[in-house]
Amino acid sequence: MITLKSPREIEGMRQSGAIIAGMHQGLRDIIKPGISTWEIETFSRDYIESHGGRAAQIGFEGYEYATTVSVNNEVAHAFPRKQLFLKEGDIVTVDTVVDLNGYYSDSAWTYAVGEVSPEVQRLMDVAKRAMYIGIEQAQVGNRLGDVGAAINAYVEDENGFGNVRDYVGHGIQPTMHEDPSVFHYGEAGHGLRLKPGMTITIEPMVNMGTWEVETSEEDGWTVTTLDGSWSAQYEHVIAITEDGPKILTSQDPEFDAKYL
The answer, yes or no, to whether residue 65 has pLDDT greater than 90, is: yes
Q: What is the pLDDT of residues 89-134, one digit of tens each?
A: 999 999 999 999 999 999 999 999 999 999 999 999 999 999 999 9
CA distance 144 to 210: 24
pLDDT of residue 209: 98
Binding residues for a divalent metal cation, as ranges, are: 95, 106, 170, 203, 235
CATH number at residue 43: 3.90.230.10
The answer, yes or no, to whether residue 199 has pLDDT greater than 80, is: yes
Q: What is the pLDDT of residues 73-92, one digit of tens each?
A: 999 999 999 999 999 999 99
Other beta carbons within 10 Å of 91: 24
The answer, yes or no, to whether residue 247 has pLDDT greater than 90, is: yes
Judged on CB neighbours under 10 Å (0-12, 13-18, 19+), 161 is buried
Q: Domain for residue 2, yes or no? A: no
Q: Which domain holds residue 49?
A: 7-259
Q: What is the pLDDT of residues 161-175, one digit of tens each?
A: 999 999 999 999 999
Dihedral sign (CA 170, 177, 31, 78): negative
Q: Domain for residue 1, yes or no? A: no
% residues pLDDT > 90 (the chain):
97
Q: Domain for residue 71, yes or no? A: yes
Binding residues, as ranges, are: 77, 95, 106, 170, 177, 203, 235
Average pLDDT of the chain is 97
Domain count, the chain: 1
Q: Domain for residue 135, yes or no? A: yes
Residues 6+ apart with CB under 8 A from 140: 194, 195, 196, 240, 241, 242
CA distance 69 to 245: 28
CA distance 251 to 63: 26
The answer, yes or no, to whether residue 258 has pLDDT greater than 80, is: no
Q: With beta carbons less than 8 A apart as the criterion, state whether 186 and 147 touch.
A: yes
Binding residues for substrate, as ranges, are: 77, 177
The answer, yes or no, to whether residue 219 has pLDDT greater than 80, is: yes
Q: Domain for residue 43, yes or no? A: yes
pTM of the predicted protein model:
0.97
The answer, yes or no, to whether residue 259 has pLDDT greater than 90, is: no
The answer, yes or no, to whether residue 1 has pLDDT greater than 90, is: no
Q: Domain for residue 215, yes or no? A: yes
